[in-house]
Amino acid sequence: MAETNISMVMEFILLGFSDLPSLQGFLFGIFLTIYTSILVGNGLIIVITKVTAALQTPMYFFLGNFSFLEICYTSVTMPRMLSDLWTQKKSISLIACAVQLGFLLILGGTECLFLTVMAYDRYVAICKPLYYPLIMNPQKCNQLVTGAWVIGIPIQIAQTWQIFSLSFCGSNKLNHVFCDIVPILKLACGDTSMSELSVFCGAIIFVTFPALLILWSYNNIIKTILKLPSAMGRRKAFSTCSSHLIVVGLFYGSAIIVYLRPKSSHSPGVDKVLSLFYTIVTPLFNPLIYSLRNRDVIAAIKQLRPN
């Protein structure tokens, strides 16, 4: 009889910002502006890296692909958030939630790998400049980009399947702005230790390990730069790396706090802010960081202006 009284959850209610009812219209306007800026800014980076002859180098090839990834990554969550704020219909089926989480994990893992590839590109350019054209040839660049897009797909699909193979038989109120791992696991019935372990392992593979590779790359880069005899050469070398380092700091800082901090320290409010940080703020500032700190990008943008 106890089992028959348990109602299995067939959909979630994304609470989002329902605790701020008077600000729904204002938040819709803010997020719509942010999403439009992400599409325009990253779209502009894609265009200039394709059409500008001076930007046909591995660094800008990776940047163009990274900007396309940022658009895809943000589009997994932002349209749904905007729809929920506009219509106030916050229900989402388990299948739709699983699809959103799956794409979020796949593209998030791809972003980690892309940042690692871009760090490797800077490492080769600064630490092995004579071998740079040989190592970062077009075939190698295409292989690195394809690998970054493909490697995480089977792992993240398996992780999503494992999470949604759990039973959800209690509350269906998901206290988050989109379907994410931590709030979903809070609603699961029974033992979630295996799922939590798989999440931790996934974070090690796609967050911690790439972060260590990035740190290794920049450790060698800094050592090489400090050995340069010319102060101007050192400034130029640091300038080519600073934009990437800022983007890495924004993305990894928030992602590590969300997925690798102790379970006892999680709170819905903090998780919402941090999740918005690595899904929205990084894609928003990516084109600004690269355009404001890179003379080649600024020159390419000026060339696109009508006379």
Cα–Cα distance measured from residue 152 to residue 138, given in angstroms and rounded to the nearest whole number: 23
Is the pLDDT score of 1 beyond 50?
no
Global pTM reads 0.87
163 contacts 181 by C-beta, under 8 angstroms: yes
Digit-coded pLDDT (tens) for 138-173: 999 999 999 999 998 998 999 999 898 888 877 888
Is the pLDDT score of 258 beyond 90?
no
Q: What is the pLDDT of residue 2?
A: 42
Which domains, from first to last, does the chain contain?
11-304 (1.20.1070.10)
Amino acid at 264: S
What CA–CA distances, in Å, run from 259 to 52, 164, 204, 220?
A: 39, 18, 10, 28
Digit-coded pLDDT (tens) for 44-84: 999 988 988 888 889 889 999 999 999 999 999 999 999 88
* Torsional sign, CA 268, 269, 271, 272: positive
